[in-house]
Each structure stands twice: as C-alpha cells, then as structure tokens.
Amino acid sequence: MPSRKFFVGGNWKMNGDKETLGELIMTLNTASLNDETEVVCGAPTIYLDYVRSKLDQRIGVAAQNCYKVPKGAFTGEISPAMIKDCGVDWVILGHSERRHVFGESDELIGQKVAHCLENGLGVIACIGEKLEEREAGITEDVVYEQTRVIADNVKDWASVVLAYEPVWAIGTGKTATPAQAQEVHEQLRGWLRGNVSDAVADSVRIIYGGSVTGGNCNELAAQADVDGFLVGGASLKPEFVDIINARS
C-alpha cells in the first residue's frame, strides 16, 4: 500500500484582517513543522494575494470557494485562473457551509470540482452528514452520494483530498470520536475501492474535520484511515502548530 502523506488544511473562513492574519503567518513561518506533513491554509478571497506573498513557501494556500466557469457575468464569484494568478494552488469545495448556508447542490459542487481540476487546482472536496441524518442511520447513504457526484467529476485523483466533516461537529465543540471518524473513513475508502479503483482507494487522502483541536488531534491522527485534518477555528490559533505536528 502506498504511503499517504499526512495533510493538514486550515480553513480560516470569514475571519481575520491583515494585522491578525499577519501575526498568524508569523507564527507559522517561525514554527517547527513536521516536514512529512503537507500544510495548506484556506484564506478569505480578498486576502489570497496577501497571504501567499507573506506565508512561507513550504505552506500552501487555498481559496475557500470557486465558480464552475472561467469568466463572465457572475457577480461576486472567482475563477481558477484568478486563484492561480495569486500564486494559489488549492481550493476548498463543497464545504457544509456552502451546501447548507448558501444552498449549493451536489451537482453544482461536482461541476466546480471538474472545472477546478481541469484548470490545474488541487481540490479539497468536503462531504458529511447532518445530525438528523446520522441519527436516522443514513450517514453512509449521504456521504456515498456526495462522494459519487465528486468522483463522477474527477479524472486524476492525485490532485484531490477528500475531507469528511460531519456537519454536527463543525464549530459546535462536538467531535466525532476517533472510532466514529475511523469508521466513516474506512467505509469511504471501501466505497472508492468498489466504485473507482484499488489504486485510488489506497492513495487518496481522506482527512477529518469537525472541532479538531490540539487536545484531540493526536488520537484522531492515530487512526489508520485518517490522513489528516481540515481545521476551522483552531487554525486561527497557535495550537494549529500542534495539530500540524500531530503525527510527529
């Protein structure tokens, strides 16, 4: 089985300004980070250029969203070409806040995934069930369908990181237990094995998101099918360094 490089993404969401993000960047630039971990920070769109120019090159930068076409009359949207023009190589797509706050459908997210990959961006593709779906026992059905629409739009999985984020754990302080996270990650890898290929199932990184902190990251990182994290609030704090180094 190929070794999967540990991946830690920070999703800064709609937070920060040049002063506070500059302080965070200084912390990251001077920190001792595990060379075996790939780190990518998702900055607000308006600060992509600023963050890429200030952040050490060993750390990647991601946009938090992107549209499905190259250009046009789409007020407020950005394209892969614009993202790349800022020196940024990644984009987060399908985050639960995009799905449930802004009403993005599986179909639209799939179209965005296809367009971003075709234009050379790496994609952190997010999936995850709501609390009522977990309590109804349909977690597998929900995440498999979300994954299917993403998979239908991927030709090269080398540029894709799959982020499992149970919606009930995002920003709530509730975290899936390590066993719960491992169970879904293992099921997702099994779905990829049955519906895509053994090679993709073995190589694609499946990361966990949902109230990851410096206090719970080590136990989560020890799970066989947890290949990293997508971190929200804690990525804006110094403890983000501890999360990056969870597998040191």
Q: Which of 95, 97, 104, 133 is catalytic?
A: 95
Q: Which of 104, 129, 165, 185 is catalytic?
A: 165
- Residue 95 is among the residues annotated as catalytic for this protein: yes
Q: What's the CA gap between 229 and 23, in Å, rounded? A: 22
Residue 115: name the closest of 163, 146, 154, 162 by CA. Answer: 154
Q: What's the CA gap between 177 and 180, in Å, rounded? A: 5
Q: What's the CA gap between 214 and 125, in Å, rounded? A: 23
- DSSP E strands: which ranges in the chain? 6-11, 37-42, 60-63, 90-93, 122-127, 160-164, 205-208, 228-231
Please report where in the chains the tokens 């971190």 appear, as a residue: 231
Phi, psi of 31 (to 5 degrees): -80, 155
- Output the six-digit token pair for 232: 């929200």
Helix (H) or strand (E) run with residue 185 in it: helix 178-195
Give Cα separations from 120 to 87, 109, 153, 156 (angstroms).
Answer: 12, 17, 14, 11
Give Cα separations from 13 to 3, 132, 233 (angstroms).
Answer: 30, 25, 9
Where does 86-129 have alpha helices with state H? 96-100, 106-118
Question: Could you list the active site residues?
Answer: 95, 165
